[in-house]
A and B are shown apart, each in its own frame.
Chain A
Amino acid sequence: MLQHIFDAAATGSLYAVIALGIALVFGVMRLVNFAYGELLMVGGYVVLLTAGLPWPLIVACTLAAVGIVAFLMERIAFRPVREADPTTMLITSFAVSILLQNIAVWIAGRRPKGVSFGSSLSEPVDIAGASVPIVEPVTLGVVAASLILFVFIMRKTELGVQMRAAAEDFRMARLMGVRADSVIVAAFVASGVLAAIAALLLVATTGSVSPYMGLQPVLIGFVATVIGGMGSLIGAAVGGFALGAVTVLLQVVLPESVVSYRDAFVFSFVILVLLAWPQGLFANRAAEERV
């Protein structure tokens, strides 16, 4: 039982990081960034490329590379469509996602590749009588540390406060002197860093990378963001954690014949949540459309 709880907590915290990255960008510019999954994918391939180096260097390279890709993404594709309606931006992000996926196909081929990063982390360790792979407590620790750092940045630094203000009400924030460009760039880079952290943890857990590895996480992040209330950062993180925990627990609880339909249940739940609370469970008031 304790083992399942650990599984659930580790998956949940990974999903929380993913959801936070999506919610951050959504908050400041109403963009559902489908290409977020490809930031994870890029992170995975950077780990593959730098596999021979000592691990702190691998981590540094991944964080830097994904941050840069996120920055370029905003600059090239999303800045020109910033004023457009959310649907136009959604389609643009769909296109960016396909673009990055196929650049990876071009360079590295379609087949998944094995990565040895963090293979020592899969060894089991005893915690309070339960045998869990080390990667799970490490995931919990890394996520907790990054979230604390994240909260600190969002609450104590000027840029963080501006980002929160912009997520609450973008136009009002601009009127109060927040610079749109810098806030949006910061949100993208921060979401890139979160994607890199998620990528490192994901690669350490699964041990492989492929051009399509971003799809599943981004869908999960979507769901979490929707459940958690679009634009609410805490809501997204909580939503992500709940979703991860629930998926793992469903896996355990549901009978064998139903488990394969799990995702159908999860996404039906998304539709139900949207129908009941079109703005999400933890929506902030500014998200409501006014006439």
Chain B
Amino acid sequence: MADEKRSRSVRSALRHDGRARLALGLVGLIVAAELLSNWSPAVESFVITTLINVMIVVGLYILIGNSGVVSFGQISFMALGAYMTGLITVEASRKEFLLPDLPGWLSSLHLGTLPALVIVVVLVGLIAALLGIPLMRLSGLSASIATLSLLIISNVLITQSSSITGGNQTFIGVPVTTTTEVALVGAILAIFVAIWFRRSRIGLLLRASRDDEPAARAAGVSVTKERVVAFGISGALIGLAGAFYAHFVGSFSPDDFYFEITFTTLAMLVVGGLYSLEGAVVGALLISTIQEMLGRLENGEGLGPIHATLHDGVTAIVLACIVIAVMIFRPSGLMGHRDTDDEGPADEEDRPTPVVPADDPEAAT
């Protein structure tokens, strides 16, 4: 009897206390990542990929979840981060050989991973904020199309500036320094930044503008300014994720940062729930896992006891069907609006009964 009572109170704590859920989630994430990484190198690389995906999707959430502006262009910053860290950390002698037309100062530049990451976060964040100043004046569909244009422009610039990026060729020789621990630090950092931003004044103003833009503007919220900040922070985090990715795979090409990953990461956020941080993390974990399992079957590697070989394209088909199904049956995503300490339109049952009746403004004052 007492046991049942306790288990119920634990469950209710997890349901109502965001902090308990956060702590448990993070511990679970760390333990799972460490245990799985020791399994085999293949599983380890799956863990690192997943953690980088978590970073990207949380970065997307910071902008999309708070402001409601769906950007299709954030992967540009991933590309920027990857190429930037590549140019900084590849050895000078190697760069001379691979990219002979590189400007002198870039060619002789050679720093370790850590200073490179700091430079990436700062520079990409700044560039994102600057680009955000015009882009974030737009709302809704116009913003989506403008950011999609940004993605295309950045792809053209990368593939055509071959003296700096190597163009369509694979960029190789980036030191492989992203271990499970590094990726874990990145993912957890992203989560804490997102929590901090959501609780900040700007985050609150943004969510107000997300739920009712004209009302927020009427109440004196600039909207554009707040969105620019979110765009910059989101860009910095996704740029960092791009640098982590570069230091994980060691070599990459412009196609790694185009429509495919844009769709996959957006799908992760959509499946988890556009407006929920928990959703971002859950979506990233879930879709990454599905992708990994199907991908292995597609490559004929087998999955434990299963040895079926799937046809090329099946992974993407399944992913697309999941997104369509979520959009149709649960448009707010698996986690809905539920969030750690969110004051937003949560599930009705989760909300405490208001002391003052909502329709009685007199009593509140």
* A interface list, Cβ under 8 A from B: 30, 32, 77, 80-81, 84-88, 90-92, 94-96, 98-99, 101-106, 109-110, 215, 219, 222, 226, 230, 260-261, 263-264, 267-268, 270-271, 274-275, 278-279, 291
Contact B324 A90 (CB under 8 A): no
Contact A264 B156 (CB under 8 A): yes
In the complex, 15 of the A-B residue pairs with CB atoms within 8 angstroms, ordered by the A residue number, are A32-B141, A92-B327, A94-B263, A101-B316, A102-B316, A103-B317, A105-B313, A106-B311, A219-B152, A226-B142, A263-B156, A267-B153, A268-B153, A270-B145, A291-B214
Contact B316 A274 (CB under 8 A): no
Measured CB to CB, the closest approach of chain A to B99, in angstroms, equals 18
Contact B145 A88 (CB under 8 A): no
Contact A90 B70 (CB under 8 A): yes
Contacts of B156 in A (CB 8 A): 260-261, 263-264, 267
Contact A102 B320 (CB under 8 A): yes
Contacts of A32 in B (CB 8 A): 141, 144-145
Whether B301 sits at the interface, judged by CB under 8 Å, is no
How far apart are the CA atoms of A110 and B317 in the complex, in Å?
14
Instruction: Count contacts on B: residues with CB < 8 A to the other chain.
Output: 40
Contact B320 A95 (CB under 8 A): yes
Give the segment of B26-34, B132-140, B178-186, B200-208 that binds chain A.
B132-140
How far apart are the CA atoms of A268 and B152 in the complex, in Å?
10
Contacts of B137 in A (CB 8 A): 275
Contact A81 B323 (CB under 8 A): no
Known contacts A92-B323, A95-B327; A87 and B138 CB within 8 A of each other: no
Contact B328 A98 (CB under 8 A): no
Contacts of B327 in A (CB 8 A): 80-81, 84, 88, 91-92, 95
Contact A274 B312 (CB under 8 A): no
How far apart are the CA atoms of A81 and B323 in the complex, in Å?
12
How far apart are the CA atoms of A268 and B328 in the complex, in Å?
34
The A/B interface has a contact count, at CB < 8 Å, of: 122
Measured CB to CB, the closest approach of chain B to A256, in angstroms, equals 12
Measured CB to CB, the closest approach of chain A to B264, in angstroms, equals 9
Contact B157 A264 (CB under 8 A): yes
Contacts of A103 in B (CB 8 A): 313, 317
Interface residues of B in 117-168 (CB under 8 A from A): 134-135, 137-142, 144-146, 148-150, 152-153, 156-157, 160
Cross-interface CB contact of A106 among B138, B142, B149, B317, cutoff 8 Å: B317
Measured CB to CB, the closest approach of chain A to B326, in angstroms, equals 9
Task: Tell me if A's interface is mostly helix, strand, loop or mixed.
Answer: helix
Other A-B pairs, 16, CB within 8 Å; known A101-B316, A106-B311: A84-B327, A87-B141, A91-B266, A94-B263, A94-B323, A98-B316, A102-B317, A105-B313, A105-B316, A226-B145, A264-B152, A271-B150, A274-B142, A275-B134, A275-B146, A278-B142
Cross-interface CB contact of B134 among A91, A99, A271, cutoff 8 Å: A271
Contact A87 B144 (CB under 8 A): yes
Contacts of A230 in B (CB 8 A): 141
Measured CB to CB, the closest approach of chain B to A47, in angstroms, equals 21
Interface centre among B152, B267, B311 (most CB of A within 10 A): B152
Contact B160 A84 (CB under 8 A): no
Interface string of B261-289 (1 = CB under 8 A from A): 00100110010000000000000000000
Contacts of B138 in A (CB 8 A): 274-275, 278
Contact A91 B70 (CB under 8 A): yes
Measured CB to CB, the closest approach of chain A to B46, in angstroms, equals 22
Contact B324 A77 (CB under 8 A): yes
The 6 closest A-B pairs by CB, nearest first: A105-B313, A99-B320, A102-B313, A95-B323, A267-B149, A102-B316
Measured CB to CB, the closest approach of chain B to A149, in angstroms, equals 30
Contact B270 A91 (CB under 8 A): yes
How far apart are the CA atoms of A80 and B145 in the complex, in Å?
23
Contacts of A215 in B (CB 8 A): 259
Measured CB to CB, the closest approach of chain A to B219, in angstroms, equals 14
Interface string of B62-75 (1 = CB under 8 A from A): 00000000100000
Interface residues of B in 45-83 (CB under 8 A from A): 70
Contacts of B134 in A (CB 8 A): 271, 275
Measured CB to CB, the closest approach of chain B to A211, in angstroms, equals 8
